[in-house]
């Protein structure tokens, strides 16, 4: 019984840790890309429109909005795309 509890606890820890790690890239974008699509479209809205990681990266890069300027590096866009399109 004790073993079982320990195992469940360990599993919870792993899941909690994984979700924190997985949210890391998107967290940088979530300040603007949030539910309600203001000031920028939420990830659900963007993923509905942009079907693949490549389309996502391209749209981010070619977007003319100055608010996106600091977030257009290959590294940032591709890391986020990898996280969203699994
Ligand atoms: C300072 C606010 C802000 C942050 C932070 C931000 N963005 Fe944006 N982003 C915008 C705005 C504003 C647009 C333009 C929305 C539009 O064209 O309607 C945009 C557009 C985009 C688009 C194109 C959407 C489309 O439909 O063509 C992508 C892709 C994107 N952002 C990805 C990202 C990623 C990835 C990050 C994080 C690394 C990020 N953004 C961080 C404000 C931001």
User: What is the tens place of the pLDDT at every residue in 7-47?
Assistant: 776 766 665 665 555 567 999 999 999 999 999 999 999 99
Confirm whether 1 is domain-assigned: no
Domain span at residue 47?
25-84
Confirm whether 17 is domain-assigned: no
Confirm whether 38 is domain-assigned: yes
CA dist., res. 29 & res. 24, Å (int): 10
The pLDDT, as a whole number, for residue 1 is 74
Confirm whether 14 is domain-assigned: no
Residues 39-56 have a mean pLDDT of 98
Confirm whether 16 is domain-assigned: no
CA dist., res. 5 & res. 53, Å (int): 40
Burial of residue 29 (number of CB atoms within 10 Å: 0-12, 13-18, 19+): buried
The pLDDT, as a whole number, for residue 3 is 80
The pLDDT, as a whole number, for residue 11 is 66
Domains in the chain, number: 1
Express as a percent the part of the chain with pLDDT over 70.
Answer: 83
Share the mean pLDDT of the chain.
88
Shortest-distance Cα residue to atom 16 of ligand 1: 40
The pLDDT, as a whole number, for residue 65 is 97
Other beta carbons less than 10 A from residue 56's beta carbon: 22
Of 54, 71, 80, the residue with max ligand 1 atoms within 8 A of its CB, to mutate for a pocket test, comes to 71
Confirm whether 71 is domain-assigned: yes
Relative to the CA of 39, which ligand 1 atom is closest? 12
Confirm whether 20 is domain-assigned: no
| Ligand 1-lining residues (CB < 6 angstroms) | 28-29, 31-33, 39-41, 46, 49, 56, 59-60, 63, 65, 67-68, 71, 76-77, 80
The CA-to-CA distance between both ends of the chain, in Å, stands at 37
Other beta carbons less than 10 A from residue 40's beta carbon: 19
């Amino acid at each position: 019984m004790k073993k079982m509890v320990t195992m469940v606890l360990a599993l919870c820890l792993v899941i909690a840790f994984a979700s924190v790690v997985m949210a890391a890239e998107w967290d940088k974008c979530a300040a603007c890309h949030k539910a309600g699509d203001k000031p920028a479209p939420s990830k659900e809205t963007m993923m509905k429109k942009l079907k693949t990681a490549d389309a996502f990266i391209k749209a981010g890069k070619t977007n003319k909005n100055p608010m996106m300027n600091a977030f257009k590096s290959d590294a940032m866009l591709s890391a986020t795309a990898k996280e969203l399109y699994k």
